[in-house]
Amino acid sequence: MDPDVLRRLHDILGPAGVVADPDLLRGYLSDWRGAYQGTAAVVARPADTGQVAEILGLCHRRGVAVVPQGGNTGLCGGAVPDRSGTQLVLSTNRLRRIRGVDRADQTITVEAGVVLQTVQEAADAAGLLFPLSLGAEGSCTIGGNLATNAGGTAVVRYGTMRELTLGVEVVLPDGRIWNGLRGLRKDNTGYDLKQLFIGSEGTLGVITAAVLALHPAIRSRATAWVALSDPQAAVDLIEIVRATAGSRLSGFELMSAQSVEFVLRHVSGTRDPFGSAHPWFALLELSDPMADAPLAQTLETVLGEAFERELLRDAVVADGSTQVAALWALREGISEAQNHEGPSLKHDITVPISVIPAFVAATDDALRATMPGIRIVTYGHVGDGNLHYNLSKPPGTDDEVFRSRAAELARVVYDSTAGFAGSISAEHGLGQSKREVIADYKPAVELDLMRGIKQLFDPAGLMNPGKVLPEG
Amino acid sequence: MDPDVLRRLHDILGPAGVVADPDLLRGYLSDWRGAYQGTAAVVARPADTGQVAEILGLCHRRGVAVVPQGGNTGLCGGAVPDRSGTQLVLSTNRLRRIRGVDRADQTITVEAGVVLQTVQEAADAAGLLFPLSLGAEGSCTIGGNLATNAGGTAVVRYGTMRELTLGVEVVLPDGRIWNGLRGLRKDNTGYDLKQLFIGSEGTLGVITAAVLALHPAIRSRATAWVALSDPQAAVDLIEIVRATAGSRLSGFELMSAQSVEFVLRHVSGTRDPFGSAHPWFALLELSDPMADAPLAQTLETVLGEAFERELLRDAVVADGSTQVAALWALREGISEAQNHEGPSLKHDITVPISVIPAFVAATDDALRATMPGIRIVTYGHVGDGNLHYNLSKPPGTDDEVFRSRAAELARVVYDSTAGFAGSISAEHGLGQSKREVIADYKPAVELDLMRGIKQLFDPAGLMNPGKVLPEG
């Protein structure tokens, strides 16, 4: 990096704002899983929006590419620099002020580097709920959640990050600040620009703060674990639950037997609630802001109807918080458990809910035809049509042999997804890992418009180059 | 209009697709209130997306400006052509197919010209709910609802049209079709382009169809009418309702005494539920998909707490559907009632909920200082911070004298709104009436980006010119 640019960075940020020590740099140059690796001479750590604006202005004048980075917990390499060593990593980890909580408005205004869990806790302290919830919540940041339009388990009830965002503050690639921090529920005064930045993975500018919507705190909860013969039973069950319980449904997770088997094998302290084999499982959660809402009763009504319609093989309603935690552990342990079985090839897709049964059957068949003995770890958020279609090697296969076929296996999953009118990235984004493959699945006119928008916002192509948009 | 273009339009659309008879044309050339008036040689009425594409392609090649029009019920003149006679009105009133309803997905796919009420009825027939609800629902169209990101009374629970839209099909200004009709709840594969078209009032292309989200049908409902001392009581009350009833709250309408007084005076069959004067009123509605949900009991709990905290002057919970209808009539009659008192100057604004009390006090003061005796008809959707700040002349003032001061009075309302970090158009859009004034309230960088997007999508400026974007 040009020594004059380095000097200017030091002038703007001071010693605490520039990381150049190779030992400290390391954590910024690869993602948390170590799946992507890049290099950079320095990391800039601005402490406020003004400093972000100065840095982007400088980089714009000097032609330096910028890679925004939050908690670095992404799964597609969207926050990792390339290997050229010429890119500047801009970490948001000093932008961590909570600017305000408003109980009447049910809003919280936070800076990009605030950790998701911190926002959840601040909402809780105000007697409210910030419902976004996902595995990485202890380290991922709001900026990253916005950049990837994060999802998670509560989307079925509260929507994705997009639906939870009322306003954003953004520094544009040329260093101008757009203050779009409106805390309004309705605002129809032209194009809704915040929507472009949400989900753009740092390619159009740097989101520095946001006004987020809060919800009433939850005071009652009920959880059930059910065994199912097939995914169709899950689709039918969710229809019954919704018709009866409406928006009380705050979680509906589906898991294949293979997924649960891995958890029981590798995660200590987990145990099978039924003790006999079943092909599929689902975890249902109802919740209500009303204290003492009769949710267990509602759940029993729903499950009773489902038994009558022969949708369930077995069911248990959790009794007390220990049992609730034990059931969620079966769901939340899948990702970790799968790591004990060799490399995990992860695919995060959505299809319309109604086609899940046909999609799963077709995709499983195609995968088994491609690689006999492959172990398919299917689980996900059925209420959103979102399945994590993860793969483990056939027993006895060499790790590297399995990994070498990753692209081929991904194609099988993506082709099937596209055949069922789905999306090849439900909640993980495109980053660097899916930026080329998306070109085969998106209409040409849509890619054209995306490229036009990129060109409009970032004509010099300095914001997170090599991410999201396919070459050409 | 160039006779060759006219001939081509006839070729594309056939006789049923071109309106040139002056008697039939008239209804397309002004809005339903008659507040805006334009001219056009013909109206094109395409019957499918392919025809829309052919028309836009033709207009693109020939430099003909196009004004898309749905039910023509807008309040800002967004669907009315200018007076040049050179613009082509493109009516969606033959795009009225319901392409499909999916119960498991809870989606409906409809064309732009389908009337909102028809969508509500189709959802109902499938045992589901399409929750968008507004005064014009019997004649406004889904295309118009999308183009203006329509709101209404149920936004507090279900969000605006934007939150109810999963995918769109759009014909771009050059005639290319973008098929973004995905029925997915999660899809993070690049910029979310549909968000640009929603709320763009026909300036970026023509939305021809959409996949909309449905919700569980409502089987229980409870309604209350309360008297309040001031808007602060409403803000405190909504906080109590939300904390207890959560998303059961599906309506919270605030009305000034002046608003209700006009209704009682002019709308036959209405009656005052209390019989004594109060300064403010609110209408609360709870609803639930569960049959026999104890909502009246919940409402009584909430109102009991509000009485204890001395927030209420009086309250009544409706007993039976006749009483519910009578209460809603008091709210829904305001617009019509106000017409009996001379011209209505309408302003549709939002502020953060928490500042409503201070905003109303300051705005009322400023209006009365500008025009002593002015009658302020304030009502709206408090849960969204959305107030219709409508004005009637002081008794005895001449209509034209009052109308001549419309711009000045609007400035008073808008300056006050901006001072409280609000929006000068909550749910009506900008159309032609607010396109210039918005330039004084939006950050320059935001207007810049809006103009850049307009230029990108419509470089020749042929899509609904003279709307949304300020000159310059």
Q: Are A169 and A210 in contact (CB under 8 A)?
A: yes
| B4, two tokens | 């060759």
Strand order in the sheet with A107-111: A98-102, A107-111, A206-213, A165-171, A177-180
- The single residue listed with the structure tokens 């010693």 is A15
Strand order in the sheet with B165-171: B98-102, B107-111, B206-213, B165-171, B177-180
> pLDDT-based confidence at A276, cuts 50/70/90?
confident
What one-character DSSP code corresponds to residue A281? E
- CA B381 from chain centre, in angstroms, equals 12
- The answer to the question of residue B457 being in a domain is no
Q: Does one domain contain both A178 and A258?
A: no
Instruction: State the CB neighbour count (10 A cutoff) for residue B193.
Output: 20
Judging contacts by C-beta atoms under 8 Å, the chain B residues touching residue A196 are 191-192, 195-196
Q: Does one domain contain both B188 and B292?
A: no
- Tell me the pLDDT tens digit for each residue of A205-256: 999 999 999 999 999 999 999 999 999 999 999 999 999 999 999 999 999 9
Whether residues A105 and B354 touch (CB distance < 8 A) is answered with yes
Rounded to the nearest angstrom, the minimum Cα separation between B80 and chain A is: 18
- CA B190 from chain centre, in angstroms, equals 29
pLDDT, average across residues B122-144: 97
Query: What local confidence, expressed as pLDDT, does residue B64 receive?
Result: 98
- Tell me the pLDDT tens digit for each residue of A412-462: 999 999 999 999 999 999 999 999 999 999 999 999 999 999 999 999 999
Average pLDDT of chain B?
A: 96
Say which of A352, A384, A425 has its CB closest to residue B189.
Answer: A425
Q: How many residues does chain A have?
A: 472
Whether residues B247 and A243 touch (CB distance < 8 A) is answered with no
- The answer to the question of residue B155 being in a domain is yes
Query: What local confidence, expressed as pLDDT, does residue B33 receive?
Result: 85
Per-residue pLDDT at B280 exceeds 90: yes
Rounded to the nearest angstrom, the minimum Cα separation between B226 and chain A is: 19
CATH of residue A154 = 3.30.465.10
Say which of B196, B289, B381 has its CB closest to residue A191.
Answer: B196
Q: Does one domain contain both B13 and B37?
A: yes
Mutate to test the interface with B, among A101, A107, A189, A348 (most CBs of B within 10 A): A189
pLDDT, average across residues B335-358: 96
Query: What local confidence, expressed as pLDDT, does residue A32 receive?
Result: 87
Percent of residues in chain B assigned helix, strand, coil, to nearest 5 = 40, 20, 40
Q: Are A280 and A227 in contact (CB under 8 A)?
A: yes
The residue that leads in pLDDT, A472 or B329, is B329
Q: Does one domain contain both B288 and B378?
A: no
What one-character DSSP code corresponds to residue A40? B
- The answer to the question of residue B153 being in a domain is yes
Mutate to test the interface with A, among B185, B249, B355, B432 (most CBs of A within 10 A): B185
Query: What local confidence, expressed as pLDDT, does residue A304 receive?
Result: 97
What one-character DSSP code corresponds to residue A405? T
What one-character DSSP code corresponds to residue A152? B
CATH of residue A318 = 3.30.70.2190
Q: Are B2 and B62 in contact (CB under 8 A)?
A: yes
Among A126-130, B319-323, B364-368, B400-404, where is mean pLDDT lowest? B319-323
3 state DSSP class of B374: coil
Q: Does one domain contain both B317 and B364?
A: no
Rounded to the nearest angstrom, the minimum Cα separation between B124 and chain A is: 13
> pLDDT-based confidence at B276, cuts 50/70/90?
confident
Instruction: State the CB neighbour count (10 A cutoff) for residue A253.
Output: 25
List the domain range (segments joined by +) for residue B108: 98-216
Say which of B243, B425, B457 has its CB closest to residue A188.
Answer: B425
First vs last C-alpha separation in chain B: 27
How far, in Å, CA of B193 to CA of B180, rounded?
Answer: 9
> pLDDT-based confidence at A464, cuts 50/70/90?
very high
- The answer to the question of residue A445 being in a domain is no
Query: What local confidence, expressed as pLDDT, does residue A153 receive?
Result: 86
Q: Are A443 and B179 in contact (CB under 8 A)?
A: yes
How far, in Å, CA of A206 to CA of A200, rounded?
Answer: 10
Query: What local confidence, expressed as pLDDT, does residue B27 receive?
Result: 95
Domain boundary among B270, B303, B336: B336
- The answer to the question of residue B441 being in a domain is no
Say which of A188, A245, A449 has its CB closest to residue B149.
Answer: A188
Rounded to the nearest angstrom, the minimum Cα separation between B310 and chain A is: 18
Query: What local confidence, expressed as pLDDT, does residue B310 receive?
Result: 97
The percentage of residues in chain B with a pLDDT greater than 90, rounded to a whole number, is 97
Per-residue pLDDT at B223 exceeds 90: yes
> What letters, b where the CB count within 10 A reaches 16 and e where it falls short, cover B33-55?
eeebebbbbbbbbbbebebbbbb
What one-character DSSP code corresponds to residue B88? E
Q: Are B371 and B405 in contact (CB under 8 A)?
A: yes
How far, in Å, CA of A140 to CA of A71, rounded?
Answer: 4
Report the alpha-carbon angle A403-A404-A409, nearest 5.
80
Q: Does one domain contain both A225 and A161?
A: no
What one-character DSSP code corresponds to residue B58? H
Q: Does one domain contain both B313 and B361?
A: no
Q: Does one domain contain both A60 and A73?
A: yes
- The answer to the question of residue B109 being in a domain is yes
- The answer to the question of residue A111 being in a domain is yes
User: Could you give the C-alpha distances from B456 to A293, A450, A451, B174, B196, in angstroms and in order?
Assistant: 52, 11, 11, 12, 12
Phi, psi for residue B315 in degrees, rounded to 5: -160, 150
Per-residue pLDDT at B188 exceeds 80: yes
Whether residues B191 and A453 touch (CB distance < 8 A) is answered with yes
Q: Does one domain contain both B118 and B193?
A: yes
Phi, psi for residue B90 in degrees, rounded to 5: -110, 105
- Tell me the pLDDT tens digit for each residue of A321-369: 999 999 999 999 999 999 999 999 999 999 999 999 999 999 999 999 9
Query: What local confidence, expressed as pLDDT, does residue B1 receive?
Result: 84
Domain boundary among B285, B317, B336: B336
Q: Does one domain contain both A235 and A132?
A: no
Domain boundary among A91, A121, A138: A91
Whether residues B192 and A196 touch (CB distance < 8 A) is answered with yes
- The answer to the question of residue B227 being in a domain is yes
- Tell me the pLDDT tens digit for each residue of A179-193: 999 999 999 999 999
Judging contacts by C-beta atoms under 8 Å, the chain A residues touching residue B446 are 178, 180, 190, 193
CATH of residue A33 = 3.30.43.10
Counting the structural domains of chain B, the total is: 4
Judging contacts by C-beta atoms under 8 Å, the chain B residues touching residue A156 are 185
- Tell me the pLDDT tens digit for each residue of A61-111: 999 999 999 999 999 999 999 999 999 999 999 999 999 999 999 999 999
What one-character DSSP code corresponds to residue A394? P
Whether residues A172 and B445 touch (CB distance < 8 A) is answered with yes
- CA A252 from chain centre, in angstroms, equals 17
Say which of A184, A216, A243 has its CB closest to residue B242.
Answer: A216
User: Could you give the C-alpha distances from A144 to A26, A76, A353, in angstroms and in order?
Assistant: 19, 12, 27
Q: Using CA atoms of B356, B361, B367, B371 in order, give the dihedral in degrees to the nearest 10.
A: 150
- CA A453 from chain centre, in angstroms, equals 23
- Tell me the pLDDT tens digit for each residue of B90-101: 999 999 999 999
Q: Does one domain contain both A36 and A66?
A: yes
pLDDT, average across residues B408-434: 97
- Tell me the pLDDT tens digit for each residue of A149-179: 999 889 999 999 999 999 999 999 999 999 9
Query: What local confidence, expressed as pLDDT, does residue A275 receive?
Result: 84
Average pLDDT of chain A?
A: 96
pLDDT, average across residues A8-34: 95
Q: Does one domain contain both A346 and A411?
A: yes
Residue A41's nearest CA partner among A3, A88, A9, A82 is A88
- Tell me the pLDDT tens digit for each residue of B228-273: 999 999 999 999 999 999 999 999 999 999 999 999 999 999 999 9
- The single residue listed with the structure tokens 């709990």 is B301
- Tell me the pLDDT tens digit for each residue of B10-54: 999 999 999 999 999 999 999 988 899 999 999 999 999 999 999
> What letters, b where the CB count within 10 A reaches 16 and e where it falls short, cover B367-379?
beeebeebbbbbb
Query: What local confidence, expressed as pLDDT, does residue B385 receive?
Result: 96
Q: Are A57 and A454 in contact (CB under 8 A)?
A: no
CATH of residue B357 = 3.30.70.2740
